[in-house]
Chain A
């Protein structure tokens, strides 16, 4: 059985390929979506089956977000709000090329949300971070019981 089920929403396929290889090696089950609209349809239908969601900020906006994301440079910020409305406690990793203050302010105070600049981690290091996040989540769950 896989360690956890992860949804990755990122249009940067080359980078994602390396990361997906690492996830496979580490025995995670994943679904990879590059299109915003399809990703959100998948998320709404499967949110209760996910253990972690990984989201890139800069994505093509798709049809639903078209007018509101500054040419797709803020797509992930809008998607994040929709994700949180549906799954308030799902661990979300915002994995991004954007490191500006605005992004930091948006995400740093969010609960169950981790912001990583892509340039800060090699693909295998992200897998290690996921392990830590899941371990922490499980520990908190058992404390609650």
Chain B
């Protein structure tokens, strides 16, 4: 076999292997679907294996817990809710196949997930084809409700524009009108490029006086990023905006600390509870974190957090909070429509204000984006005694939805 062919097969194997190690379908409890025996089935198609499985597994826990809670209170419209789940292997084609199979074989009445926005983009038209509502609770690309909008798609997670604008808002307040130098660091794929681009645009919109001194885009899941880090270090930026997440951000933090980056540069990144927990004593005190739903900074979540901890032995990540919220949103739509029919539920939700564990959230009528904030804070210097891990300092900045998302007119323009 020629060398080039070996690399091609190895790359293919690795690409498939990234997520397909456990490419099997599982369920909280198998159920026939909406028709049989007073049960109704919902589906969670997400990434359950590979490097981003932590996000998918956590989201699934939130979805499962929400279904359990619905059942504990008598079910929904008298039906017990069961959850079927499947691993999308972080692959769009697999995600689309999962959704089709869930609808046709499991007769799911709603779909939840996935982690990857590319997978979400592939699943969205399938759900629309069968008129089944789909709730994105982790994938958050702005295009899902922009160019790819369908009346069956809902997003209960801050989108990519909201996230980068919230970070820019916080930075604008921190800079105090002074000239600052900025560098960016992001994974080398569409999410990374889009998020960085959104962040820089937001700085311009906020009239922050900045000079861009370095930009680097390491590959996703790279274990050695020294070559990329060295370029950032030698540029001596005042602020570094990092769009990495999960394990990649952990790796960045461990290696960047070795260069003394955190002593000279303020790093802004998604320092959420899973990342801070993994970092342990290596958590970068003073760095700026953003989080989509930090359980410790949202007073309304204390009961849910305790319940989650009792069941799973861990505190809920934002992925679990958002998964739970997604099921609550769907359940509200079902009750309002008094029907499980996809078209009825999808018609009931736009403009509705939904009571959830995180408080009331409104589903914006024009694009089905949940009107929720993004949270920004500073990583604390010691572990929180209640939760046993390093989190943020108490003063958390809540970036309101109205200031960080695109307007309806802008979303309309995105659809072309």
Q: Indicate, yes or no, whether A interacts with B.
A: no
Chain B residues packing against A (C-beta within 8 Å): none
Q: Chain A interface (Cβ within 8 Å of chain B)?
A: none
